Amino acid sequence: MKTVNPRQGELFDPGLDERFAVWVHTPAGGEIANQFIRMAWGLWKRGIKRYGAKAIIERLRWHYTLMAAKRKEYGEYKINNNYVSRLARLAMERAPELRGFFEARELKG
């Protein structure tokens, strides 16, 4: 019998784009998106022509974890792994110089 991870279905959920659009317009989501774009642009400006979106996300998680620990407020800046590719696409859309900076595979869904 084949078992399916129930969370795996979220990757192909047509509602993922809608959930991302809602999240990115929250204060935390907007700040994370802006920081993501700033970090990508900073790398590009230093001559790096391609980079991994997941690496930027992990750096942001590290940063926000430290900031939350300092304030003793956890959970406000969570980043869903399913949003990583959407953040990369958003960055390349908002900052034209970043087009091609991230590998963008075809979205399934």
Per-residue model confidence as pLDDT tens digits over 8-48:
555 555 688 899 999 999 998 999 999 999 999 999 999 99
Residue type, 33: A
Q: Which amino acid is at 53?
A: A
Strands of 1-109, DSSP E = none
Domain assignment present for residue 78? The answer is yes
Q: Cα dist. 30→2, 20, 23, 91, 106 in Å?
A: 39, 11, 8, 12, 24
Asked whether the predicted pLDDT for residue 56 surpasses 90, the reply is: yes
* Per-residue pLDDT, 1: 42
Give the pLDDT score at 7.
54
47 occurs within a structural domain: yes
Band the pLDDT of 73: cuts 50, 70, 90: low
pLDDT at 4: 45
Residue with more model confidence, 29 or 2: 29
| Distance, CA of 50 to CA of 81 (rounded, Å) | 20
**In total, how many domains does the chain have?**
1
Does the pLDDT at position 53 exceed 90?
A: yes
> Would you state the structure tokens that stand for residue 105, as one six-digit string?
């595979």
Q: Which domain holds residue 76?
A: 27-98
